[in-house]
C-alpha cells in the first residue's frame, strides 16, 4: 500500500508540472474558452474549447485550439468516437475555416472548408465556401461593411479588408496571374493600383470605388478575366424527374461553381417564362431555391450563368398537383422534441423552440401537441448526446404523448448564422420517415422567421399531404399513389365519402356535401406509383377519395 501511495504522490507531483492552461474569459457574463468536462488535452476538448473561443470572438485562441484538435484528429464527422461507446460531433476543419475567414486567411479557409465538405458534408461548410468566394470577389469584408469591389474571379485574391473610416477601405491582396489592377470609381473613372513584385497589393479605396482586373494597357475588362469561358458546374438536390409535387412550390438545394464569378441562377418553365431567380456572387455558391408552378406537368430548366457568360443548365420534369384538401381534424398528430444543440454550438435560444413550433403550426402540416406538458420528455431530450436524439428515444416520447410522429431537430447557431436538421420519426416503428435541413445567415428577426418557415416548408415537401383514390384490390385496398407522390410506409390515409349536396328548389347547390371519413388505412407496401393498404379502422375494402393523415 505504501508503494501505491508513493506512486500516487509522484503522479500528483508530475501533474503539477504540466503547462499552464489559458483561463476562460468572461464577456457580458458569458464564459468563453470553456469545456463541459475538465480539460485534459483530448482532441474533442480542444475542439469544444476552440468553438467556445470562436463564439466569443477570441479568434487567435480559437485558431490555436482548433489546430491543436486537428493535430490529434484529422477528420470531420457527425459521430466521432471519443472513448468506449461515446460519440460527439466534430467539425474542426469547418470551424477552423470559419475562424480563418474572420482572420482574412481565405486560401487556407477554403482548403479547410473543402476538406470538411469532402469528409462530412454540411450546409455550413457550403456556406463558408460561398462566403469565401464572395470575399474574394470583394463583395463582403470580414468585420467591415461590404466593400464595393467588383466580381473578379480567382485571379484576384483579397486577403484582408479593413474599414478605416469615412467609408474608406484598406484592402490587401494579391493577383494570382499576371494582370493589371485598377480601382474603378462610381463614375466609371479608374486608377491603377500598384502591384508589388511578389504579386501582392495594398490599396486604399474610397467609398465608391471597387477593384477590377485590367488589361495590360490599363483598360478595364469588365468581366475581369479574359480567355475562353468554361461552363460552370451546377448540382441540384431536390425532387427527381416525374416526382409529383403536392402544392405549388418545389424546393431545391443547389450548388454552383465556376472559374469566373457566378452571376445568377434562374429557373424557367417550358414556355421560357422565368419562375425563379437567385442572384449569385463568388465562384462557388450553395443555397436553396423555391420553384413556383401551376398544376400540370412542368419542365423546369435551371440555368446558371457566370461573369464570362458561360452557361450550364439542368432540366427537371415535375408533376405539380393541387395540394390535397384536408380536414384539419384529420391531420397527423405530432409532438416536437425540444431543440437540441450540438456541443460545438451556442445553446438553443429561449425563443427558438417557440419559433420552430410556430413555424410548424403556421405550416399546418401536423397537429402539434404541446411538448412543454411533459417535463420528463424535456429532461431526457436535454440528455441527448452531441445534439443527436436517437429516433428510438424520440419514438418513446411520441408514444408517451400518444402522437403518431415526433419532430426531432438539431439546431446549431454560429455567429450570425443558423443551421437546422429536422427528422420526422414514425412513433410506431421508430423509423425516420422524412428529413430536411436548412441553413441561412440571419441578421434580423425577420431572417429567423423566414428560416423557420423555409424549414417547415422543406419538411412538408419531404412529407406532404396527399390526396388520391383508393380502390379494391383482392381482399385489400390499393392506393393509386406511390413513392413518386411522397407515400412512405406507415403513412395513413382516410377514405372519405362525400355526402349529398344540399340544393334548393331550382336544383342549385346551396351547401356542398361534406366529406366524411369512413375508413382508415395504412400503407404497408409502397411501389413507385401505387401503395398497398391495410385497414386500421372503418369499413372493409373501402373505395373512393383518400387523403393522407
- Report the relative pairing of strands 249-257 and 233-237 from DSSP bridges: antiparallel
Please report whether residue 4 would count as binding another protein according to CB under 8 A: yes
Residue 399 sits in the site that holds another protein (CB under 8 A): no
Cα angle 423-427-431, degrees, rounded to a multiple of 5:
55
Q: Select from 20, 29, 84, 328 the one that contacts another protein (CB under 8 A).
A: 84
Residue 376 engages another protein in binding (rule: CB under 8 A): no
Interface pick for another protein out of 224, 247, 338, 391 (rule CB under 8 A): 391
Question: Which three three-digit cell numbers place residue 327?
Answer: 380536414
Footprint (CB under 8 A) of another protein, residues 199-238: none
Under the binding rule (CB under 8 A), the answer on residue 14 touching another protein is: yes
Residue 431 lies near another protein (rule: CB under 8 A): yes
Burial 295-327 (b: 16+ CB within 10 A, else e): eeebebbbbbbbbbebebeeebebbbbebbebe
Binding segment for another protein (CB under 8 A), chosen from 13-21, 191-199, 259-267, 517-525, is 13-21
Count the Cβ atoms, other than its own, within 10 Å of residue 143: 13
Q: Which residues between 507 and 526 bind another protein (CB under 8 A)? A: none
Q: Which is closer to another protein, CB of 67 or CB of 541?
A: 67
**What is the closest distance, in whole angstroms, from the C-beta atom of residue 59 to another protein in the complex?**
25
C-alpha closest to that of 287 among 342, 235, 355, 219 = 235
- Single out the residue of 26, 31, 41, 204 in contact with another protein (rule: CB under 8 A): 41
Q: Work out how close the CB of 32 gets to another protein at its nearest, in angstroms, rounded to a whole number.
A: 21
**What contacts 29, CB < 8 A, 6 or more positions away?**
none
Q: Give 249-295 as a DSSP string.
A: EEEEEEEEE-SSPEEEEEEE-TT--EEEEEE--SSEEEEEEEEE--S
d(CA 134, CA 151): 8
Contact window for another protein (CB under 8 A) among 430-438, 444-452, 505-513, 526-534: 430-438
C-beta separation of 129 from 117 below 8 A: yes
Q: Cell for 27?
A: 464577456
381 — phi, psi (to 5°)? -65, -35
Choose, by CB under 8 A, the member of 54, 62, 80, 212 that binds another protein. 80
Interacting stretch for another protein, rule CB under 8 A, among 37-45, 55-63, 352-360, 498-506? Answer: 37-45
Candidate list 390, 499, 501, 540; residue touching another protein; CB under 8 A: 390
* Cβ closest to another protein, residue 21 vs residue 469: 21
Residue 86 near another protein by CB under 8 A: yes
Which residues make up the interface to another protein (CB under 8 A)?
Answer: 1, 4, 7-8, 10-12, 14-16, 18, 37-38, 40-43, 72-75, 77, 79-87, 383, 390-393, 430-432
Amino acid at each position: 500500500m505504501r508503494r501505491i501511495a508513493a506512486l500516487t504522490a509522484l503522479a500528483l507531483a508530475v501533474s503539477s508540472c504540466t503547462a499552464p492552461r489559458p483561463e476562460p474569459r468572461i464577456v457580458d457574463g458569458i464564459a468563453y474558452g470553456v469545456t463541459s468536462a475538465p480539460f485534459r488535452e483530448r482532441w474533442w476538448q480542444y475542439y469544444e474549447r476552440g468553438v467556445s473561443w470562436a463564439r466569443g470572438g477570441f479568434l487567435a485562441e480559437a485558431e490555436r485550439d482548433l489546430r491543436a484538435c486537428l493535430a490529434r484528429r484529422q477528420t470531420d464527422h457527425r459521430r466521432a468516437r471519443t472513448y468506449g461507446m461515446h460519440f460527439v460531433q466534430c467539425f474542426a476543419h469547418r470551424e477552423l475555416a470559419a475562424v480563418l475567414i474572420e482572420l482574412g486567411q481565405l486560401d487556407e479557409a477554403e482548403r479547410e472548408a473543402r476538406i470538411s465538405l469532402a469528409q462530412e458534408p454540411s450546409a455550413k461548410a457550403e456556406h463558408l465556401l460561398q462566403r469565401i468566394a464572395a470575399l474574394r470577389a470583394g463583395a463582403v469584408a470580414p468585420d467591415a461593411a461590404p466593400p464595393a469591389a467588383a466580381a473578379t474571379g480567382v485571379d484576384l485574391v483579397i486577403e484582408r479588408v479593413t474599414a478605416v473610416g469615412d467609408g474608406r477601405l484598406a484592402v490587401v491582396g494579391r493577383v494570382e496571374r499576371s494582370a493589371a489592377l485598377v480601382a474603378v470609381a462610381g463614375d466609371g473613372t479608374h486608377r491603377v493600383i500598384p502591384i508589388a513584385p511578389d504579386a501582392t497589393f495594398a490599396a486604399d479605396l474610397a467609398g465608391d470605388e471597387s477593384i477590377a482586373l485590367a488589361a495590360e494597357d490599363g483598360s478595364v475588362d469588365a468581366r475581369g478575366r479574359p480567355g475562353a469561358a468554361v461552363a460552370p458546374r451546377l448540382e441540384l438536390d431536390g425532387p427527381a424527374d416525374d416526382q409529383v409535387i403536392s402544392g405549388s412550390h418545389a424546393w431545391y438545394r443547389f450548388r454552383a461553381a465556376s472559374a469566373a464569378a457566378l452571376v445568377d441562377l434562374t429557373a424557367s418553365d417550358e414556355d421560357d417564362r422565368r419562375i425563379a431567380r437567385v442572384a449569385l456572387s463568388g465562384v462557388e455558391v450553395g443555397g436553396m431555391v423555391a420553384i413556383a408552378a401551376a398544376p400540370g406537368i412542368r419542365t423546369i430548366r435551371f440555368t446558371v450563368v457566370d461573369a464570362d457568360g458561360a452557361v450550364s443548365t439542368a432540366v427537371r420534369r415535375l408533376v405539380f398537383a393541387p395540394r390535397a384538401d384536408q380536414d384539419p381534424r384529420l391531420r397527423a398528430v405530432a409532438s416536437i422534441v425540444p431543440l437540441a444543440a450540438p456541443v460545438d454550438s451556442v445553446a438553443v435560444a429561449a425563443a427558438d423552440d417557440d419559433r420552430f413550433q410556430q413555424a410548424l403550426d403556421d405550416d399546418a402540416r401536423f397537429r402539434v401537441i404541446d411538448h412543454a406538458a411533459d417535463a420528463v420528455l424535456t429532461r431526457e431530450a436535454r440528455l441527448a448526446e452531441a445534439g443527436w436524439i436517437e429516433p428510438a428515444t424520440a419514438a418513446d416520447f411520441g408514444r408517451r404523448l400518444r402522437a403518431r410522429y415526433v419532430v426531432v431537430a438539431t439546431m446549431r447557431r454560429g455567429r450570425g448564422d443558423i443551421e437546422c436538421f429536422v427528422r420526422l420519426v414514425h412513433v410506431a416503428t421508430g423509423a425516420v420517415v422524412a428529413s430536411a435541413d436548412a441553413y441561412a445567415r440571419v441578421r434580423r428577426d425577420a431572417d429567423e422567421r423566414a428560416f423557420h418557415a423555409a424549414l417547415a416548408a422543406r419538411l412538408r415537401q419531404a412529407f406532404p399531404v396527399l390526396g388520391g383514390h383508393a380502390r379494391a384490390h383482392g381482399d385489400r385496398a390499393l392506393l393509386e399513389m406511390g413513392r413518386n407522390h411522397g407515400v412512405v410506409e406507415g403513412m395513413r390515409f382516410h377514405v372519405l365519402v362525400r355526402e349529398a349536396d344540399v340544393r334548393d328548389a331550382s336544383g342549385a347547390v346551396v351547401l356542398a356535401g361534406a366529406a366524411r371519413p369512413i375508413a382508415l388505412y395504412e400503407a404497408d407496401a409502397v411501389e413507385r406509383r401505387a401503395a398497398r393498404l391495410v385497414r386500421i379502422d372503418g369499413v372493409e375494402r373501402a373505395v373512393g377519395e383518400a387523403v393522407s393523415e
